[in-house]
A and B are shown apart, each in its own frame.
Chain A
């Protein structure tokens, strides 16, 4: 379900020699010394006693100058100046959600001057990019019944031409005769008997996921003194990454190079290799900079497959990207959900049972699961969590920042607040009562800080009883995301004779600061300033495997390997200069600008003197990400967010005034980038709460708002004040002492906002977004009741 970055190069586990080491970890104000078992070659953990000069500082991103001057090169930026003879690809897509392609004629397109390749995808049902070699044809296939398309935006044909406008014209010239078939795009309709079936061969549109069960749910509800039961809904969201999906493919004989806007060069490379039946070593995927993915850019997908197929056919490099409209039909989305939830608790607030049944749609794809979050966020002995995927005739879902968690959070946090009201208990006190206690976990402190910063006690003066038409409220929600970081990740650090260093790894920077983190960790381990470190990345040609960027895995999967590589390179340097210092390499240290053996400090070399001795043969070291240290890898990434809102009961407009976001990621590697990550998660979450939804025309089965004007995200005028509070429980899970951060900041935001709105109005809205019409309808309904 989650991107793991596992690739064809994973080595089988081998027996490793272990050693036991100690580390002082946890929060600075309540340190704990733990003994851990690690592989023989593992470095000591950067723990509470480590004095770090670079890591943990607000180091500006090293690619800053490139990005603010327009020099940073993205896949979309490859033009004919870079690749002479570059052709432009374009995809013809089905305008209908469900139809049979009765006739397809590309003869006019083929004759258009400047058109260099035309491919029809006219075999089979649906379009599977992995099978492009089998389904593509030059001419229409005389299938007895014709191919079936199952969502608006499905790939039907593609062209490559000398310019984008010729390609667009060629697409218009392809004549397709469709016969429409019945469709269903609403998941609540798609579950009904007699609904049109999306995937042929299935008896209905449902796929039940194995339920997650703990304890005895019936017993749990019997023990409960209070129960509440609610149904909540969340909409489909569109990623709308700034840079649309785009790939530039170039063949040289049997070898394929692709510049791609991807979250995973390694995964992309492996899929290309399989699809085009060539060895992985003949494929190179490059991502220098990329304009956002948020989960929608894993793997080769249709754009990668079509670009490479067109390039092969045309015998020239081809750039194929989606435009914004295509992006919003076919590049992924966050599945929606209808969630029925039932909670049972004792009068003191102790949860005794949790039952959730959810169903949602990932369109023609799978995985609308939302309940895993509920299984880990609060302590509850008896639970039953059931998810069902419902297929509809719409573009397939893709992971979307914290897949499934913001949905689940909205359901359980809403239910927790209503349970608190039922119990006449403070909502935060209810959370504290059911707090998951784990070693080195700082959730108690996270709650304390959040409550203090938002002014939780001010809630008492808020709510519907105030005289003004504009009501205020404060609400909160807990952030949680499992730790998925770990091996494999391989890095090479080189020390050059001019004293500079280079860290290299086939990992991509998707905007999260990966490049800067690699430089910071290398600089820290070598004792150099960040400016002395160059980073080479985003290229499978480096053969230094790293995970795809998703699931908050990147930073702490790669940095332990970077550190190990830097340490290995430094050891190599010491080996080279030890004879000159008449010392053993292992006795040397680099401190205060000098390399020396502490036993003989008078004999020393400066870094520059030492590296100058390398001459034409620089030294390098390789480092590998070693396995996580248990049981600490099992501790999730925690946080909590508190929202203060204002609701105008006359217009229905909700304004989020302030979000206090308290988060932990173990060691915070760069507080400035930490805050930026949180800002991003919060903004997406507030958009989820108030504005964002994909709207479908039920009758036509088409997306009504596949653009940036009608699909509204947060802009500068709706931006709340965001206060990020960093809590730093150092973990001994890896040699850096950190965990990930990408997903948690967007998990509880919408729920916290919804809880604040419910407090302000004294009545709850059970469906996102909390748009003015819903606010007014809800207030109207209460009046009538």
Chain B
């Protein structure tokens, strides 16, 4: 589906609006029902039809950086919006808002995930790590330190997403190869040209 916006007077469905609309109509359906269902159906009994949520705010509990946050948001609010606009945690950046740039990457149960493509509602009960939660107090994560040492940022806007994308790979493969490091950030958008040094920083941490 093209993400090019249609003229005002023709009906338009963008991928993101679809995601939002699906959620409006049936909250949990979007993830639990539409996407996972076909495989589930084969082995499990039919699920009860979930209660539609919204419009109107619902309570969402998020476990972010080891802390529980309870907030009331519309069911179509993305995790990115919840973090930035509702919790004021603006370390997670927005570049495209369409899952094309990975700037909004957070870790969900350790997996690098675009928070702009994830509904806040769908990640309740999961462990969410944002860039604000990476350092231990004042002690930076080795990856954060490596970014400073290798001048791995310029404007710094893609940096949180870059670090978390690498973090997910390094958590899985502490001694990741240069190819794995490249793959970790292959979907991350950077315009200043920090990539060569980002790869250096990632490789330095992988070498230990």
Contacts and interface: CB of A to CB of B under 8 A. Distances in A.
Contacts of A708: 95-96, 98, 100-101, 189
B194 A679 contact: yes
B114 interface: no
Contacts of A178: 9
A291 B157 contact: yes
A569 to B, nearest CB: 28
B76 interface: yes
Judged by DSSP, the binding face of B is loop
A74 B94 CA distance: 11
Given A72-B156, A164-B81, A242-B103, A64 B147 contact: yes
A79 B88 contact: yes
A69 interface: yes
Q: Which of A325, A510, A673 has the most CB of B within 10 A?
A: A325
A76 B94 contact: yes
A676 B8 contact: no
Interface string A141-176: 000000000000000000000011100000010001
A63 interface: yes
B157 A74 contact: yes
B163 interface: yes
B197 interface: yes
Interface in A688-716: 702-709, 713-716
A592 interface: no
Interface string A224-258: 00000000000000011111100000000000000
A74 B188 CA distance: 19
A717 B135 contact: no
Contacts of B84: 77, 79
Contacts of A511: 153-157, 192
Contact of B140 (A65, A239, A289): A65
Judged by DSSP, the binding face of A is loop
Given A679-B194, A716-B186, A709 B3 contact: yes
Interface string B59-91: 000000000000000101000010011001111
A71 B91 contact: yes
In which size bucket is the chain A interface?
35 or more
B22 interface: no
B195 A69 contact: no
Q: Which of B95, B153, B155, B182 has the most CB of A within 10 A?
A: B155
Given A60-B149, A92-B8, A706-B4, A70 B157 contact: no
Interface string A744-758: 000000000000000
Contacts of B92: 70
Contacts of A638: none
B101 A65 contact: no
Interface stretch (B25-33, B34-42, B45-53, B126-134): B126-134
Q: Which of B4, B5, B153, B191 has the most CB of A within 10 A?
A: B191
A682 B193 contact: yes
B56 to A, nearest CB: 12
Nearest to A676: B151
Given A512-B154, A676-B151, A676-B154, A67 B159 contact: yes
B189 A680 contact: no
A289 B156 contact: yes
Query: Which 8 residue pairs are nearest across A and B when measured between Cβ atoms?
Result: A70-B91, A680-B193, A511-B155, A95-B7, A291-B157, A81-B88, A67-B156, A77-B90
